[in-house]
């Protein structure tokens, strides 16, 4: 059942509505989205934060001070919100002692929230390298002229940051593109972060998993190389057997890595010439076929090392001297696997930069 209230700012009843479109709040005169209290008869909309504004309030960023609610900006001079830098044209929390002002919505910003595995915390400073504007605020911004006010959300790992002043612009641009945001400010910020860094975080998580495969393969190949040399010089069947088994495990790890990439890289199964058979292709790289040199060099190296280890074991089992007394191939194969991942990471960084350029 919808909530219906009365408010001093409007003579009629106001009903809580939720529309997938933006609006201008008739209380604070700021941009709104999602849920709002509305009078259909008068086309009157107002933020929930503006409706439920307290007459006197406090904020953690302003110690030992109180803010009073004003339906209009006090004084004759233009006033700016100390959180977002936007004009104060309507409802406002004003501190008479410090001369500070806060929009009701800015006052209600969550102090912290979690997106994916990254925790963001609200900071009382405008920090550089915003996710959206990719720079600090220009000198002509009202925030720059107010001796450092303005807030930012900063990730706990200090890798990601976005200005509160950019949040409204982000939301407005996404609404113009027809992207549906949430019914609350925090939900909308979550959607914006999904648009801005969602793919980056997913790519980083995928790269960590892939790197675990690579490191495992590298360690297994090095162990196999050591056992291969020991078995050749000492002629121990156990060393040869362990070397062969480890090489097989390394090859299986490469196969699992390829299967994982097929499942996570959004590959599609198609029959495209000039290949005489259907194959996997990248959707976001112009139908580029999967399985290029950088994709399979690790598997090739692991396969070759597995073959050498099996041949070595066969010689040892038959008590025949291994013709390969000192083999550098296992070391080459081990670093070949590492080199293949370096090539992949370079492509990932290049595509990431291209995506960021297109999104600006």
In this prediction, residue 230 carries a pLDDT of 60
CB atoms within 10 A of CB 162: 24
Q: How far apart are CA 62 and CA 88, in angstroms?
A: 19
CA 32 – CA 151 distance, rounded (Å): 19
Which pTM was predicted? 0.58
Whole-number pLDDT of residue 356: 44
Looking at residue 32, what is its pLDDT?
Answer: 83
The set of long-range contacts for 139-147, using a CB threshold of 8 Å and a minimum separation of 24, is: 141/85, 141/165, 142/80, 142/85, 143/80, 143/85, 146/80, 146/82, 146/85
Given a contact cutoff of 8 angstroms between Cβ atoms, the answer to whether 14 and 40 are in contact is no
| Residues with Cβ within 8 Å of residue 57, at least 6 apart in sequence | 66, 67, 69, 93, 107
Q: Which residues of the chain are modeled with pLDDT < 70? A: 1, 128, 134-149, 168, 172-188, 190-192, 195-207, 209-211, 213-214, 217-218, 220-222, 224-236, 264-266, 273-275, 283-287, 291-295, 322-360
Q: Locate the domains of the chain by residue range.
A: 205-359
Looking at residue 43, its pLDDT comes to 93
Contact between 235 and 344 under an 8 Å Cβ cutoff? The reply is no
Nearest residue to 26 via CA among 12, 41, 13, 9: 9
Beta bridge partners of 15: 4, 38
Q: What is the rounded distance in angstroms from the CA atom of residue 90 to the CA atom of residue 68? A: 14
The closest of 258, 287, 255, 292 to 270, measured between CA atoms, is 287
DSSP letters, 63-126, are: EEEEEEEESS--SSS--B-TTT--B--S-EEE-TTT--EE-HHHHT--SEEEETTEEEEEESS-
Q: What pLDDT sits at residue 148?
A: 44
Please give the Cα distance from 152 to 131 (Å, whole number). 11
318 CB neighbour count, 10 Å cutoff: 7
Say if CB 39 and CB 53 are below 8 A apart.
no
How far apart, in whole angstroms, are the C-alpha atoms of residue 17 and residue 37?
Answer: 6
Q: Are 49 and 62 in contact (CB under 8 A)?
A: no
Report the distance separating Cα 169 and Cα 175, nearest Å. 10
Which of the 8 DSSP states describes residue 283? T
- First-to-final CA distance of the chain: 42
pLDDT at 158: 82
């Amino acid at each position: 059942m919808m909530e219906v209230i009365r408010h001093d700012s409007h003579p009629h009843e106001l009903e809580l509505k939720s529309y997938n479109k933006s609006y201008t709040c008739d209380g604070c005169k700021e941009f709104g989205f999602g849920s709002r209290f509305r009078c259909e008869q008068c086309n009157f909309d107002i933020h929930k934060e503006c409706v439920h504004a307290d007459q006197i309030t406090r904020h953690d960023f302003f110690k030992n001070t109180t803010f009073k609610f004003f339906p209009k900006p006090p004084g004759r001079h233009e006033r700016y919100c100390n959180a977002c830098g936007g004009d104060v044209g309507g409802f406002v929390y004003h501190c008479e002692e410090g001369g500070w002002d806060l929009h009701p919505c800015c006052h209600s910003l969550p102090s912290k929230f979690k997106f994916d595995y990254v925790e963001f915390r609200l900071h009382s400073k405008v920090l550089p390298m915003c996710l959206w504007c990719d720079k600090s605020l220009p000198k002509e911004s009202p925030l720059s002229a107010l001796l450092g006010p303005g807030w930012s959300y900063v990730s706990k790992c200090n890798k990601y940051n976005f200005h509160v002043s950019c949040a409204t612009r982000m939301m407005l641009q996404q609404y113009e593109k027809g992207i549906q945001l949430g019914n609350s400010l925090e939900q909308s910020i979550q959607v914006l972060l999904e648009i801005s860094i969602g793919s980056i975080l997913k790519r980083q998580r995928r790269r960590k998993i892939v790197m675990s495969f690579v490191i495992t393969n590298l360690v297994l190949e090095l162990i196999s190389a050591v056992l291969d040399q020991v078995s050749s010089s000492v002629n121990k069947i156990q060393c040869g057997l362990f070397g062969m088994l480890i090489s097989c495990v390394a090859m299986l790890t490469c196969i699992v890595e390829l299967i994982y990439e097929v499942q996570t890289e959004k590959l599609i199964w198609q029959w495209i010439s000039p290949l005489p058979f259907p194959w996997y292709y990248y959707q976001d790289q112009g139908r580029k076929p999967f399985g290029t040199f950088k994709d399979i060099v690790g598997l090739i190296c692991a396969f070759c090392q597995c073959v050498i280890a099996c041949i070595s074991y066969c010689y040892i089992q038959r008590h025949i001297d291994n013709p390969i007394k000192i083999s550098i191939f296992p070391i080459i194969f081990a670093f070949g696997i590492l080199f293949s991942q370096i090539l992949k990471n370079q492509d990932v960084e290049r595509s990431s930069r291209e995506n960021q350029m297109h999104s600006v």
